[in-house]
Amino acid sequence: MTNHTGTTEEAFETVKKCVNLFGAVSGIVLATTAVVAALGHDVTAFMWIRGGVLLAMAPLILRLVAAAAQGSRSSFERVRILTTVLPVAIIVVDLIPGLCPGWYAAMQAIGALGLLGAAVITRRAPLSGAFTKSA
């Protein structure tokens, strides 16, 4: 029976949407980097590599979410860790002065919000109790 917090399946669908948002924004960041470079503006190797790595993370996290939705506790724990650590890492790195332009940092932070949403959902009902350890 579904209560006001929703079902486990609905929660996993929302986590997928959050990760898809992160992936979409990551793709936009990489495409914007390409346009900026094509227009002759400075683009660093850091921007290319980070943009590519973060874009590549989205399908990997989605695969983990799918496995978690099928009952994989280890995949669920990995999703919880990644969706918690990645947004913090993204924002902390963006705060390093001179590492990347403000527009790039802002776009990356917007993508990190998707992961932050997924992190919150994995810690709330119904997912918080779905993988509780049994004695």
User: pLDDT per residue over 51-82, tens digit each?
Assistant: 999 999 999 999 999 999 999 999 999 999 99
Comparing 5-14, 63-72, 79-88, 101-110, which segment has the lowest mean pLDDT?
5-14
- Does residue 30 sit within a domain? yes
pLDDT at residue number 6:
63
Taking CA atoms, 99 is separated from 103, 106, 107, in Å, by: 12, 13, 14
Domain count, the chain: 1
- Does residue 8 sit within a domain? no
Is a pLDDT exceeding 90 seen at residue 125?
no
Who's near 42: CB < 8 A, 6+ residues apart?
none
- Does residue 5 sit within a domain? no
Angle at 133 between CA 129 and CA 135, to 5 degrees: 130
- Does residue 44 sit within a domain? yes
List the one residue out of 50, 51, 46 whose CA is nearest residue 31.
51
- Whether this prediction's pTM lies above 0.85 is answered by yes
